[in-house]
Each structure stands twice: as C-alpha cells, then as structure tokens.
C-alpha cells in the first residue's frame, strides 16, 4: 500500500456556498481529508473518473493515488481491506457504486466489521465508513435501486445513517468519518442534484439526532433519506397541519424526538421507500405504540414500497411512495 500523503494543491474553501448534495458530499470528504491524513477513500472508479455519481471528483488529483484508491470490482475485498487498514490506524471510506452491489460485502460488514469491537472487549476501534447510494427514482432497475437499510440496522455494532439534504450530507459524512464505530452511510441518489446553501462554519446537528424539519399539530410524518423531501411536499400540499421528522440516524434511533412529536400530534405515519413488510417502519411503529400508547388517537400507519423486486423503470413511479399514498394514509389516520 502506498503511504498516504498530505493534500497537494487545493486549499479549504471558505464561506457559504450553494451546493448540490453530490457537491456537498465531495466538499465534506475533501475537508475530512484535509483535517486528517489518515482518511483514505476506496472504491471502483472513484479516482480519475470521480465515481459513477462524481462524488469523489477531483480528490485523487488533489490528494494522490495513495489516498484515493481505485479498487477492483470486488466489494468484499474493498471492505475487507478497509478493515485491515482501520486496524493499522487509517480511517477508510469505502464507496459502493450502487446499493444492490453491497451484498457481496455483507459477510465482511456483518460478520467482521460489526463485531470486531465487542470481540476485542472494546479495545479495537474500527472507524470505517461504507457509503451506499440508495433508493430509486433515477430510472434504473433492481440492483441499482435497492433500499437495504433494514439489513444493516438489524446488525448490532453498526451505526446506520441517512442524509436527506446537502447540509446534512456535508456535515454527516465528516461526523461519520470521525466516529470510532463503523458507519453505514446511505445517500439518496435521486437527491444528489438537490441544492441548498451550505455554511462550512455552522455545524449541523449531531449525527445521531433526529430533526423536526416542519412543525405541525394534526399528524406526524416520520421519514428518512429520499422520503423526507416527499413528505415535506405532501405536508405543503395538504390543508392539515402536518409535522415532518427526519430520522437521520436509523441505528441507533433518536426515539425521544420521535416520541415528543407523536405525543404532540397523536397520529403517526412512517414513510420509507423500502418494502413495508420487514421494513424499519415496523420497528418504529412498535416503539411508538409501546411508548406513546395513551397519546395515540389512531394506530401507527406505514407507507412504503411493495413486497416485490424493484420494477422496471417505467413502473417505478407506481412503486415509490408519492404524495397521494402519503396523504391517503394521513386521511385514514385522521378519520380514525
């Protein structure tokens, strides 16, 4: 392995900027690499090409091939190598090209990465970040439009987070890299081109905190990743006062923020792209019911994908939750 080197050319950019989520992730990675010479990026075509979605564009040019490493098309090897590098003091950030390609690396993630810290009685830290572009909405098919978050949230020993906007993308990727635990970092690919003002001097909330992104009194919409924007659009389109909460961290869950919102509104709809059957919505609904039972005016409802393989691109608009399906659930909970 080539020894890592300090950044060669680009100085840190200062001041607020309007960035897409893709550019915000790039800026966050750049800042993390400038701050810590042990941060190393690994993945397929992430060097000269800058990655399929250009998240690492220009980073190999500025930090060298020793820190932005083009790997073979072998996801298990990428994560396995990252585990070894983390044991030697590096902070590897792995890029999985598409969500469905993470499964060949599942054994390394679930069997090794998640368990090493407990196995060493806490003596070994594994600061490995696995970045996964997730979800649909870009006209791709199965293997390129999956929502595998429940698999990893079910695995103790992993932190699982999902950004939903450029500001969180910029800060959360840096927080994930600084975390001593392994982090599965989901990036909603259909939001890569959404823009927002990012101020590099005003940090976002801690990575583990949920956030109320729209206040309301009639019902709570709980969402994460790509569905946060869809829920905000649904809330804007509806005459009722709907509160929208961005979970941000899927494991561990910031349940106190969720519970406070549901206790205020008395009604709750959980929204995600993944199939409802076996999805995170079931776990969240159970926890809300257990802790907020006497505040609920109606059962917790769930809106998500169907229990089918991800469909052909011409059908994905029917598969993905939209405003109509979300507001239909709001109608049902408010009519209870």
CATH number of the domain where residue 161 is located: 3.40.50.970
Q: Which of 39, 33, 43, 41 has the alpha carbon at shortest distance from 10?
A: 33
Asked if residue 91 is part of any domain, the answer here is yes
Asked if residue 315 is part of any domain, the answer here is yes
Q: Give the separation between CA 141 and CA 131, rounded to whole angstroms.
A: 20
The answer to whether 272 is a known catalytic residue is no
Q: Give the separation between CA 237 and CA 231, rounded to whole angstroms.
A: 10
Residues 114 and 241 in one domain: no
CB 130: neighbour CB atoms within 10 A?
28
Cis peptide before 178 (omega within 30 of 0): no
Q: What is the pLDDT of residues 35-78, one digit of tens each?
A: 999 999 999 999 999 999 999 999 999 999 999 999 999 999 99
CATH number of the domain where residue 327 is located: 3.40.50.920
Residues 31 and 173 in one domain: yes
Q: Which of 195, 192, 159 has the alpha carbon at shortest distance from 177?
A: 159
Helix (H, G, I), strand (E, B) or coil at 30: helix
Domain count, the chain: 2
Q: Which of 284, 159, 180 has the alpha carbon at shortest distance from 222?
A: 284
Residues 268 and 180 in one domain: no
Helices in 208-302 by DSSP H: which ranges? 227-237, 255-265, 280-292
Asked if residue 65 is part of any domain, the answer here is yes
Residues 87 and 112 in one domain: yes
List, edge to edge, every strand of the sheet that includes 159-162: 68-70, 39-43, 91-95, 129-134, 183-188, 159-162, 249-251
Question: Would you write out the chain's pLDDT as a tens digit for each of its 336 residues?
Answer: 434 343 433 435 568 999 999 999 999 999 999 999 999 999 999 999 999 999 999 999 999 999 999 999 999 999 999 999 999 999 999 999 999 999 999 999 999 999 998 889 888 999 999 999 999 999 998 899 999 999 999 999 999 999 999 999 999 999 999 999 999 999 999 999 999 999 988 888 999 999 999 999 999 999 999 999 999 999 999 999 999 999 999 999 999 999 999 999 999 999 999 999 999 999 999 999 999 999 999 999 999 999 999 999 999 999 999 999 999 999 999 999
CB 73: neighbour CB atoms within 10 A?
11
Catalytic one among 143, 144, 154, 318? 144
pLDDT at 12: 52
Residues 184 and 39 in one domain: yes
pLDDT at 13: 55
pLDDT at 14: 60
Q: Give the separation between CA 191 and CA 280, rounded to whole angstroms.
A: 21
pLDDT at 10: 43
Q: What is the pLDDT of residues 122-150, one digit of tens each?
A: 889 999 999 999 999 999 988 999 999 99
pLDDT at 141: 83
For residue 140, what are the domain limits? Answer: 18-198
pLDDT at 57: 97
């Amino acid at each position: 392995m080539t020894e890592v080197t300090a950044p060669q050319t680009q100085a840190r950019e200062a001041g607020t900027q309007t960035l897409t989520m893709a550019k915000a992730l790039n800026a966050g990675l750049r800042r993390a690499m400038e701050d810590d010479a042990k941060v190393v990026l690994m993945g397929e075509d992430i060097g000269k090409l800058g990655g399929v979605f250009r998240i690492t564009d220009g980073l190999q040019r500025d930090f060298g091939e020793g820190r932005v490493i083009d790997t073979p098309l072998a996801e298990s090897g990428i994560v396995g190598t990252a585990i070894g590098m983390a044991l030697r003091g590096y902070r590897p950030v792995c890029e999985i090209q598409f969500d469905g390609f993470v499964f060949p690396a599942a054994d390394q993630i679930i069997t090794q990465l998640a368990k090493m810290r407990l196995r060493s009685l806490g003596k070994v830290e594994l600061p490995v970040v696995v970045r996964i572009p997730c979800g649909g909405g870009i006209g791709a098919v199965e293997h390129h439009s999956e929502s595998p978050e429940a698999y990893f949230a079910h695995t103790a020993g992993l932190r699982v987070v999902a950004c939903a906007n450029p500001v969180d993308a910029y800060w959360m990727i840096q927080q994930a890299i600084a975390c001593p635990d392994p982090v599965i970092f989901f990036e909603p690919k259909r939001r890569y081109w959404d823009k927002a003002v990012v101020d590099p001097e005003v940090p976002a909330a801690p990575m583990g905190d949920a956030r109320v992104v729209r206040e309301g009194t009639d019902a709570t919409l709980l969402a994460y990743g790509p569905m946060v924007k869809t829920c905000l659009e649904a809330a804007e389109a509806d005459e009722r006062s709907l509160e929208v909460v961005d979970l941000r961290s899927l494991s561990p869950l910031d349940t106190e923020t969720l519970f406070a919102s549901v206790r205020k509104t008395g009604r709750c709809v959980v929204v995600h792209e993944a199939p409802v059957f076996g999805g995170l919505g079931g776990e969240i609904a159970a926890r809300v019911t257990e802790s907020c039972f006497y505040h609920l005016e109606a059962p917790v409802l769930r809106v998500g994908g169907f229990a089918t393989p991800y469909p052909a691109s011409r059908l994905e608009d029917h598969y993905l939750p939209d405003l109509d399906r979300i507001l239909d659930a709001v109608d049902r909970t408010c009519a209870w």
